[in-house]
Amino acid sequence: MILIIGGAWQGKLTFAMELAESAGKNMELDGNKLFDPLNVNSVPCITGHQLDTQGYPLDSSISKNEKEEEHEIAEGSRDSFEAALTCPIIHGLHEYIRRLLKEGKSVDAFLDEVQRQNPDVIITSDELGCGIVPFDPADREWREASGRASVRLARISREVYRMVCGIATQIK
């Protein structure tokens, strides 16, 4: 397991894709190929959503036929919890945690399943603890649960990176 943490829009997804490629995860994954971050003509498809080489959403007018390669990435804000158990990259773990809390599900049980079923996954998560403490109790609970999840995953991950301004620093 590899954990990548940092602020929003700092390049975590692009870095995760680079790590996946360097780890040899550029093989076919259920018919989809991993995105080549060094090939600017390659546009990943993340569970139906297209991103540019920096991880920003593209205009939806690009058809699936125009993409050269695809990624299989579990997107925390919209993909099923089951997707996180099989995809080589989980992007936005903090959003999975938000959804788990809203649905009254256990974050620890989810993390246990990810660890058990997807031990080589690369996980990105936004750092939520560096800003103003939210007024809303639910937002404070989400922030705390996300922080605790990051601590837990950092302990069991073989590598942990902190992303700032597109620069990854290995902290474990």
Rounded to the nearest 10°, the torsion over CA 45, 50, 52, 58 is 170
CA-CA-CA-CA torsion sign (58, 9, 162, 105)? negative
Give the tokens for residue 156: 């069991």
Mean predicted confidence (pLDDT) in 61-90: 74
Helix (H, G, I), strand (E, B) or coil at 5: strand
pLDDT at 1 over 50: yes
What is residue 30's predicted lDDT score, i.e. its pLDDT? Answer: 39
Spatial distance between the Cα atoms of 13 and 133, rounded to a whole number of angstroms: 26
pLDDT at 107 over 70: yes
What is residue 52's predicted lDDT score, i.e. its pLDDT? Answer: 47
Question: pTM of this prediction?
Answer: 0.75
Instruction: Output the average pLDDT for the chain.
Output: 80
DSSP track, 68-104: S--B-EEETTTS-TTGGGT-SEEE-HHHHHHHHHHTT
